[in-house]
Structure 1
Amino acid sequence: MSSLRRSDEQRERSPCLGVRAGDMRVLGGDRRVALDVLMMGWGLGTWLGVNGVFVQLPLLVQRLPEGWALPSFMVVCIQLANVGVLAYAALRRLFPRAPDAPYVYGMLGVGTAALFLNAFLHERTAWVAGAERSVAFLAVTFFTGLVGCTSSVLFYPYLRHFRDVYLATYLVGEGLSGLLPGLLSLAQGSGGEPRCVYAPDNASVTAVPPEPRFDSTVFLAVVGCLSALSLASFALLNSLPTFAAERVRPADAAKQDEATGEPLLRARWVGVMAMMAALNACMNGLLPSIQSYSCMPYGAQTYHLAVTLGAMANPLACLAGVWLRPVRGRALAALLGAALLPLGYVLATALLSPAPPLQHSAGGRALVVLAWVALYAALSYARMWVYGWARRGGAAGMRVCGAVNQAGSALGSLTLFLIVNFTDVFVQAPQCALPPL
């Protein structure tokens, strides 16, 4: 009997998503489906703006002056948005008893406004330090990034006010912030390869990208509407009294703030947080910065598919965490070990740009897309596993996890920005070549 009780306790402490194994069997059962829907709607707004502009990159790198280096500028602007995390931490110290809900409203409002502004301002450029720069696009992207960066330390702790089972559907909603812009981008189309227009004397050439089914203004405006939907979802789940039974009692929520299941300085905690930093340095710094160099040599459509399907892999990984039995630590380590293969391949294609292997074959195009999708799926699942494991540390553990998330992302983004823009490690090919004289 004692061994049976120990087995039950181990299942109760499943690290994946931080919920009990019995709660993960089905989305129905002992839960409110309407609240599940609102949780997904709220989670949709977390990284919606960031994912929205990233899936537009196959179009934007052909239109904005930074070219293939544009993603490296974007990830730095997004990481600079971590100033929002510092501002929130300062406000928490000044007003420790203030509720989190007003901060959530403010962040979602800023993200919605930023998306609508970007829809109409993204092509405005200005000369900075002797070079034409996408000042408006990058500035508004900074405000878009405020939501995603701050959500790591603001939105997750707010979830402690609801029963554990709703963390899973919130994470599915967060994954939808990549899926829905991805589907919209597939409907939009990449526009295909640029057309080369030569001057009458062949002294100059201009690359003219073809038009997609609808332009970036329409795309970003639709994503802005989705962000407004996220704001409305949070307003409903936060204010409707019908969900009072699904909330954790204030006394229990306070206990989560004051006590943790495990001391945060234990070796296991430090190790898992180090893995979280590495995952986010890779996902939010390294990979976005090099994807244009890895994929554009295979064509704009290949880049479009790699970006879009990679963004869609994230919610599928979250759904796997909802429907499947959580994996053990050794299985996760095996998964990450297997992910080194596609990671090595995409690094090789980026480093060998503008002439990567199998450049002019259909197999080469398919292989690079599959590598990017598999890599994002594996890393997304691993990051979700860490978030679920961190929940056992209560609100303090979730805040530490969020802070480590942003620290790893910032380090990876800054490192790649310097490498991409101040070395010759990654090389952009000209879209059109002048004919020989």
Structure 2
Amino acid sequence: MALLVHLLACAFGLGSWVAVNGLWVELPLIVKTLPEGWELPSYLTVIIQLANLGPLLVTLMHKLCPGRLKERVVIYCILSIGVLSCVLLAFFWDKTTIVAGASRSTAFFIITFFLSLVDCTSSVTFLPFMTQLPAKYITTYFIGEGLSGFIPGVVSLAQSVGIAKCVNSSQAAGNHTNGSLWSSHTEYLPPNFSTEVFFVLLAVMMCISLAAFAALNRLPRTFELSTENLVLDTVASVCYGLENPGAEADGEGVKRPGEGAAPSKPLSAGPKHSVYQMTFIYFMVVWVNCATNGLLPSVQTYSCMSYGSLAYHLSAALASVANPMACTIAMFFQNRSLVFLGVLAALGTGFGSYNMAMAAMSPCPLLQGSVAGEMIIVLSWLFFTGTLSYVKVMVGVILRDRSHSALVWCGAAQQMGSLVGSVTMFPLVNVYGLFKSGDFCSTQCPL
């Protein structure tokens, strides 16, 4: 029975962020089809921020009507919406409509909003439900949440998106034109399986999560309601709670469902910090979430696609894998030194600055057309995501150990940083056109 519950808890956690993670790793293939093209990631960052309406409503219900909101009902609803949305995405992701005289991916945006709503809301409903089981099963649940980022990345790598070659258009026409007029263009080789199949696989994973939740609900109630030792799992809970800015703001992850608001008291004995240290901690929360959830994701296409679609594919897939890896490292190797975290944040900011600089230089970034350039941009995105993910986890742990109110302000700081980042980049990318796209093969860059 214990092994069965572990497996079900892991499968249940799989449905937490698998949909949004799947969308991000599939973007290298999607941006070549949808009319928004390289601007698509900036739209997604704004849509995901709008989807925080779900956690906000759940939070308000818990505060205004304690005990009235049933997590089981909400979880059944959001997982069902997730399954339906993934199925609809497989059929309608590339359908467009004319809006204000331009072709827009209306269906993709609407379905993406509901998928984001599912994943954002999972952060304030899945964990409270899991606290009804002994603490040892919560760790298994967080393993499942880690797999929600790891599996889509691995599947995307197996899909082999981004393999391309430069084709001389004159040769393709039979060499009837003058050699001086020859031009090259990028020809993408077909992936091992289509985007539709990928979205169906996401739907299957959501179905597995839904089935696991239904099975957990039907298990004999032989487990005691227990939240003891939850502090031992603080790293994992904070790690995946921070994936959704503001998701932990109601503090439900540390209370049993139906409880009233907990008093602001330390969750565990932790060191006291001065006003300046707390200011620095909250500054890191705002900045790290601003960079990882708003600023850089909006321009990932511009920083990578100039090196080729393969570089973009690898950076998106490996960055998705880097987050659960950083969280796993944080579970075993914890360093709460503010000096260390500040240095690590600066290092991650350096990688992010390089990525932003390459996006600004698009379509002619440094070392374009070289293997070294491709390797550097992929590794830069990998280390950017990994280092700042570790900082997010440890800063969240520090605030979680301090008090409940500190964690509430942490959620507010996360939301503010993510919102500022996405709102700042959207007009720069889509209105003012500060970032330029180009074809990897046909763009002529100065030596």
AA at the equivalent of 1:350: A
Displacement of 1:85 in angstroms is 2.5
Choose the corresponding residue for 1:177, options 148, 172, 175: 148
**C-alpha spacing 1:144/1:314, structure 2 compared with 1 (3 Å):** same
2:11 to 26, 41, 49: 41
Describe the superposition over 1:170-197 as per-residue Cα deviations: whole angstroms up to 9, x where unpaired: 3332222211000100111114237766
Is 1:58 aligned to residue 37 of structure 2?
Answer: no
How far is the alpha carbon of 1:100 from its aligned partner?
A: 2.3
Q: What is the match of residue 118 of structure 2?
A: 147
Could you tell me which of 363, 381, 397 is aligned with 2:372? Answer: 363
Gaps of 5+ in 1: 1-30
Which whole-Å deviations, capped at 9, do the CAs of 1:359-399 have from their partners, x for residues lacking one? 11111110110110011111222222234344446776655
Offset at residue 86 of structure 1 (A) = 3.1
CA separation of 1:245 and 1:295: change in aligned 2, threshold 3 A: same
Unaligned runs of 5+ in 2: 229-253, 268-272
For the aligned residues, what is the CA RMSD? 3.4
Amino acid at match of 1:118: L
1:71 aligns with 2:41: yes
Map 1:185-334 onto structure 2 (within 5 A).
185-193=156-164, 209-241=188-220, 244-245=223-224, 247-248=226-227, 253=256, 257-262=261-266, 267=275, 272-334=281-343
In the alignment, the residues of structure 1 paired with residue 396 and residue 279 of structure 2 have an alpha-carbon distance, to the nearest angstrom, of 14
Going from structure 1 to structure 2, the CA distance change for 1:323 and 1:392 (only over 3 Å counts) comes to closer
Contact 1:190 1:301 in 2 (8 A): yes
Between the aligned partners of 1:396 and 1:237, the Cα distance in structure 2 is 31
Q: Which residue of 1 aligns with 2:71?
A: 100
> Structure 2 length as normaliser, TM-score?
0.79
Mapped to 2, the partners of 1:109 and 1:393 lie a distance apart of: 37
CA separation of 1:355/1:434 partners in 2, compared to 1, >3 Å: closer, same or farther?
closer
- Say if 1:116 and 1:160 are closer, same or farther in 2 by CA, change over 3 A: same
Q: Using the TM superposition, name which of 54-63 and 406-415 deviates more.
A: 406-415
Aligned-partner residue type, residue 211 of structure 2: A
Alpha-carbon distance in 2 for matches of 1:152, 1:272: 22
Confirm or deny: 8 A CA contact 1:256 1:394 kept in the other structure: no
Match of 1:138 in 2: 109
The answer to which of 180-189 and 224-233 deviates more is 224-233
Shift of 1:238: 4.5
Task: Tell me the equivalent position of 2:232.
Answer: none
**Letter of the structure 2 residue corresponding to residue 79 of structure 1:** Q
SS in structure 1 at match of 2:98: strand
1:337–1:271 Cα change, 3 Å: closer
Bigger share in helix: 1
CA contact 2:10–2:140 (8 Å) conserved in 1? yes
Q: Secondary structure of 2:375's match? A: helix
Residues 152 and 405 in structure 1, CA contact (< 8 A), matched pair in contact too: no
Alpha carbons of 1:194 and 1:257: their partners in 2 closer, same or farther (altered >3 Å)?
farther
Q: After the TM superposition, which of the residue ranges 168-177 and 312-321 deviates more from structure 2?
A: 168-177
Structure 1 residues 352 and 90: CA distance shift in structure 2, 3 A? same
CA contact (8 A) 1:152 1:402 kept: no
Worse-matched range after superposition: 268-277 or 285-294 = 268-277
Deviation at 1:157, TM superposition (A): 4.6
Moved more, 355-364 or 266-275: 266-275
Kept in 2, the 8 Å contact 1:153–1:403? The answer is: no
Deviation at 1:258, TM superposition (A): 1.9
Would the alpha carbon gap of residues 409 and 36 (structure 1) be closer, same or farther in structure 2, given more than 3 Å must change? farther
Q: One-letter code of the match for 1:108?
A: L
Shift of residue 119 of structure 1?
1.0
Identity of aligned residues (%): 37
Deviation at 1:132, TM superposition (A): 0.6
Distance 1:427 1:235, change over 3 A: same
Residue aligning to 2:248: none
Deviation at 1:92, TM superposition (A): 3.1
Mean alpha-carbon deviation: is it higher for 309-318 or for 185-194? Answer: 185-194
2:92 counterpart of 1:83? no
Q: Structure 1's 385 and 186: CA in aligned 2 closer, same or farther, altered over 3 A? A: same
Q: 1:54–1:41: structure 2 CA closer, same or farther, 3 Å change rule?
A: same
Go from structure 1 to structure 2 and tell me whether the alpha carbon gap of 1:142 and 1:120 turns closer, same or farther (over 3 Å shift): same
Q: 1:42 to 1:243 in 2, by over 3 A?
A: farther
Residue type of the alignment partner of 2:382:
V
**Residue type of the alignment partner of 1:91:** M
Name the count of aligned residue pairs: 403
Deviates more, 1:174-183 or 1:324-333: 324-333
The answer (yes or no) to whether the contact 1:191–1:213 under 8 Å persists in 2 is: no
Contact 1:256 1:395 in 2 (8 A): no
